[in-house]
Amino acid sequence: MRVNEPRPLGRTSVRTTAMSFGAAPIGNFLRPFSEPMAMEMVSQAWDLGIRHFDTAPLYGHGLSEHRLGHALRGYPRDQYVISTKVGRRLEPAAPGTFDSGLWVEPAPFAAHYDYSYDGIMRSVEESLQRMLTDHVDILLMHDVDHYTHGDAQPEMFRQAVEEGFPALVRLREEGVVSAIGFGVNETDVCLEAVRRTDADCVLLAGRYTLLEQDPLDELLPLCEKRGVSVILGGVYNSGVLATGAIEGAKFNYAPAPQEILRRTARIHAICRAHDVALPAAALGFAAAHPSVASVCVGSRTPEQQSGSAALFGARIPGQLWDDLRDAGLLRPDAPTP
C-alpha cells in the first residue's frame, strides 16, 4: 500500500490518494501552529505523494482554509483534491468575544450553525475565497451529530437533509463541486445520511478502527452496495493507537478509559510479536475495507507526518490479523490487507 495510491471516490470522477492530509492541526487545533510550519507541513505532504487535502471552516474559524489555500496556490490545481465542509457560517468578531472551543488563537470570526440552503451557498462562496480557488472537489455536510447538537440534533439533521443537501446537489450539477456527502463522528448519523440522500461519499472520524468496528454492521455494507466511498479520519482514535497504552494516552480527545487501555495493550502485544508497529497496523486495517477511499491523517510535526507515511507502506503478515481475530480483538468479518 502506497501513500500516493490513486483511488476512485464513489461514482464520481474524483481521484483521491490512499492517505490524505488532515488540515485541522494547521488551524491551531489544541495548540498554535506557526505560519511557516503550516506551509512546511503542506509542502512535505505534497512531496510524500499526498494529493487530497481535507479542511473545514470550523478549523481555526477559517484559519485552516486560509493557510491551506495559500500553501497550495503554487501547485497545479488539477493535480490535487480539496475537501471542505458546510454547516457553519463565520462572521467577523473581535478576539476573545466568542467561544473558540478547541481552537487556540483562531482567526477573528465567530462560528454559527447554518444548514439552510442559503447558508450553504454563502458558506461555499466564502470558503472558495479563503482557499483562493474556483471550485471544491469534495463538499461535506459537517457535524450533524448528537455530540455537537444534543437534543437539537433531530431538527438540525432534518434541516441539513431537507434544506441544505439540495444546495450541495445544485453545486454538484453546476460543477462548483464534484462530490458531495457528510462528515460526522457518529456511525448511526452517517448511516441515516446515506439512507436519505444521494451522497457520493462520507467522512467518518474515529468510528472504524482497531478498537471500534461497529460500522461493519450496517454502514459499510450499505456504502459498498450503493457505491458510496468512505474517507476515514481519526484512525488512531485521537492518539491511543499511535502511542500505545501509555500514561496520558488519549481516546476521543480525552484520557483513555481503563478498558480501552487494556484492549490497546493486548493489540499492541500481538503487533510486537510480529514486529509490526501498532500505528502501522491501525493504518493498514483502516485502509483495507473496499469502501474506504482514503485514510485522513492530521499530523502535528513533519516527523509525525513522514512517520505515518512510512508506516502506511509497512508490510504486515497475515498471521497478525489471524491472531487478533483468535484473541477476540478483531471481528471475523473485518476485511484486512
Q: Distance between CA atoms of 249 and 255, rounded to whole angstroms?
A: 6
**Residue 302: exposure state from Cβ atoms within 10 A (0-12, 13-18, ≥19):** middle
Residue 142 to residues 37, 52, 59, 114, Cα–Cα distance (Å): 27, 18, 12, 10
Contact 5, 20 (CB under 8 A): no
CA 180 to CA 136: how far, in whole Å? 10
Kindly name the residue from 85, 145, 208, 236 that is annotated as catalytic: 85
Instruction: Say which residue the cell 458546510 belongs to.
Output: 86
CA distance 162 to 3: 37
Nearby residues of 73 by Cβ (< 8 Å), 6 or more positions away: 132
Q: Which three cell numbers stand for residue 294?
A: 482514503
Dihedral angle sign, alpha carbons of residues 200, 73, 66, 54: positive
Is residue 54 among the annotated active site residues? yes
Beta bridge partners of 110: 91
DSSP for 212-276, please give it. Answer: --GGGTTHHHHHHHHT-EEEEE-TTGGGHHHH-S-TT-EETTEEPPHHHHHHHHHHHHHHHHTT-
Active site residues: 54, 59, 85
